[in-house]
Amino acid sequence: MLGSLCLFIAAAAAFAAWAVPAGAAGKFLVQTDNLFVMSLTNSCFAANRPPGEYNFSPFNSLTIHAPKDGGYVFEVAFWPKSFEAGTRRKLSLRIEGRGDHQIDADAVSDFTLKSRGTASDAFLKELQAAKALGAKAQGVPEALSFDTTRISEILALLDNCRRVIGQK
């Protein structure tokens, strides 16, 4: 048992060293329930899966990017071979109990769409009152759903992270 624990700790340390860019190491990393917020060099991001799980299988995931200069960019990973990388698509984000928000997105891989611009204030306001966010992509039959019960806290953590990376 102790040997397995030591092997797990060594593997986790090796992953942490590999997964975090050198300039971002130790600046900002917070996990809350099933979401974590982490700093990079010029931005922060929140994802609904821990790094090890995401790196193993990034499908069916939500990532919110917070560029240093403001705003939020949404990225949704669907299933392999859902898109042709480099194409433009429509991403529909449905806030529980409300209408769809159609967003222009780029296929950054064969399974991931990333919004072309930052989310509107109206969308963010609606999102903060929701318990779930649905995602549907043009040409993909399955919709995805993500827990957003703590999204206000996550957006606040992203703002705190931006302040941290903005410090010299």
Q: Report which residue type is found at 59.
A: F
Band of pLDDT at residue 43, cut at 50, 70 and 90: very high
Beta strands in 73-143 (DSSP E): 73-77, 88-95, 100-107, 112-115, 132-137
Q: What percent of the chain has pLDDT over 70?
A: 84
What mean pLDDT is predicted for residues 99-117? Answer: 95
Are 124 and 155 in contact by the 8 Å Cβ rule? The answer is yes
What mean pLDDT is predicted for residues 11-39? Answer: 62
**DSSP 8-state secondary structure symbol assigned to residue 110:** S
Band of pLDDT at residue 71, cut at 50, 70 and 90: very high
Taking the C-alpha atoms of residue 145 and residue 84, their distance in angstroms, rounded to an integer, is: 22
Taking the C-alpha atoms of residue 134 and residue 143, their distance in angstroms, rounded to an integer, is: 7
Edge to edge, what strands does the sheet with 35-39 contain?
A: 29-32, 35-39, 43-47, 61-67, 73-77, 112-115, 100-107, 88-95, 132-137, 144-147
0.85 exceeded by pTM: no
Topology of the domain comprising 27-166: Immunoglobulin-like (2.60.40)
Phi and psi at residue 110, to the nearest 5°: -80, 0
**DSSP 3-state of 95:** strand
Domain ranges of the chain: 27-166
What mean pLDDT is predicted for residues 41-55? Answer: 87
